[in-house]
Amino acid sequence: MSLITKTGVLLVNQGTPDSPSVADVRKYLRQFLMDERVIDLPFLKRWPLVNLVIAPFRAPKSAKVYRQLWTSQGSPLKVYGYRAVHMLQASLGKSYVVKLAMRYQNPSIESALAEFKALGITSLVVVPLYPQYASATTGSVYQKVMETVKDWTVLPQIRFVNQFWEHPQFIRAFAKLGQKHLDQQTYDHVVFTYHGLPERQLHKDEQFKSCEEAHCQHSLHEGNQFCYRAQCYATSRAIALELGIPEDRYTVCFQSRLGKDPWIQPYTEDVIRKLAAVGTKKVLVFAPSFIADCLETTIEVGGEYKELFEELGGPHWQLVESLNDNASWIACLHQLVTQFTPVSQKTTQKAFHAFKRYPSIHSISLN
């Protein structure tokens, strides 16, 4: 008698309010910001800051922005998430069960895991949908999953996908999306913008005390392999290499600051001002820390930053759409679930001479 085995696949994204109402946005903000990995302050400091200051005052403003983002089907993050689930399920076949969860709000990690438990799955693959590792994102998903299953009598074999920025299919998928815009017209400069984090969270458990000491901007190595900033720079190098964009033709920056503590720099707003100051006219923008269009891409990068650039005299700011339900992205997910071999890191800079393939990117210096 042969045993029937079935693998559960849990795709986990950041989360979204249930609706763009002030009440639902406030509820989302409270759950999100009370996560000790997001705001890494002691509970007695974090609770009043989130519940008495940030959530009450920020919720009405954020609700207005969410209303701009909302579609007839709901939050784009959730809409694209369910599309990815259906496409990946079709790709993997009947021996897998694919479900979507959000780290904050619905569908919850707890509800998805309860469904897997009821189905009697024999193994589980958890894919946090963050290309680069950070304690506040991937680490938080790990913690929540393990807290949820710790009391199960029978635990399935569990595998976590730690990061996937280096997956060749991920890099090629973003590069192809950017190439469509490059084929249509010339650009003066390329910007890679990533979600920001407080500086203090980057090297807490590593041998280096700072990104400067670890040379995170220029290389990824054993000593800084889990540094979020180092992975963001490595992601940019990989996409630029795929497109043949030399290092002096693009800039890496970070967005979405919160509070007064220093966050990862350079800040995207500062880069925009520098680009405008040196006469940049056309900018192509990637946001490779997001796998689906959401508030941070559509509204912040594609809207607010575009307005700022135009106010400063820049006539063209083009956001490259996210992976969403792109077939190449689903192929990447399929490989992450079934097998994953990291792309080899190329140490030579000679490959940047492939710029000759793309003369439509003009040289511009921000120094």
| Percent of the chain scoring above 70 in pLDDT | 89
Residues sharing a CB contact under 8 Å with residue 31, sequence separation 6 or more, in sequence order: 15, 104, 105
User: DSSP characters for 1-70?
Assistant: -PPP--EEEEEEEEE--SSSSHHHHHHHHHHHHT-TTTS-S-HHHHHHIIIIIIHHHHHHHHHHHHHHH-
pLDDT band at residue 33 under the 50/70/90 scheme? very high
pLDDT at 355 over 50: no
Query: For residue 31, which phi and psi values (nearest 5 degrees)?
Result: -65, -45
Residues sharing a CB contact under 8 Å with residue 310, sequence separation 6 or more, in sequence order: 317
Expressed in angstroms, the distance from the first to the final Cα of the chain is 70
For 343, which DSSP code? Answer: P
Q: Minimal CA–CA distance to 343: which of 193, 189, 164, 213?
A: 164
Tokens 């946090």 found at? 128
Residues sharing a CB contact under 8 Å with residue 119, sequence separation 6 or more, in sequence order: 6, 8, 97
pLDDT band at residue 25 under the 50/70/90 scheme? very high
What are 186-244's pLDDT values in tens digits? 999 999 999 999 888 876 666 667 787 777 788 888 888 889 999 999 999 999 999 99
What are 339-348's pLDDT values in tens digits? 854 433 332 2
Q: How many CB atoms lie within 10 A of CB 207?
A: 10
- What is the pLDDT of the chain when averaged over all its residues? 89
Is the model's pTM score more than 0.75? yes
SS3 assignment, position 313: coil
User: DSSP characters for 136-168?
Assistant: IIIIHHHHHHHHHHTT-SSPPEEEE----TT-H
SS3 assignment, position 222: coil
Q: How far apart are CA 232 and CA 229, in angstroms?
A: 5
pLDDT band at residue 321 under the 50/70/90 scheme? very high
Per-residue confidence (pLDDT) for residue 81, from 0 to 100: 97
SS3 assignment, position 221: coil
Q: How far apart are CA 250 and CA 245, in angstroms?
A: 7
pLDDT at 103 over 70: yes
- C-alpha to C-alpha distances, 162 to 125, 134, 156, 190, 336, nearest whole angstrom: 11, 9, 18, 28, 10
More confident residue, 346 or 298: 298
Per-residue confidence (pLDDT) for residue 3, from 0 to 100: 53
CB-based burial of residue 161 (10 Å sphere; 0-12 exposed, 13-18 middle, 19+ buried)?
buried
Rounded to 10 deg, the angle between the 228-243 and 168-184 helix axes is: 50
Kindly state the average pLDDT of the residues 281-308: 96
| Percent of the chain scoring above 90 in pLDDT | 79
Q: How far apart are CA 337 and CA 78, in angstroms?
A: 20
Q: How far apart are CA 64 and CA 160, in angstroms?
A: 36
pLDDT at 325 over 80: yes
Structural domains of the chain, with CATH: 7-160 (3.40.50.1400), 168-357 (3.40.50.1400)
What are 141-167's pLDDT values in tens digits? 999 999 999 999 999 999 999 999 999
- C-alpha to C-alpha distances, 58 to 22, 47, 158, 246, nearest whole angstrom: 9, 15, 37, 40
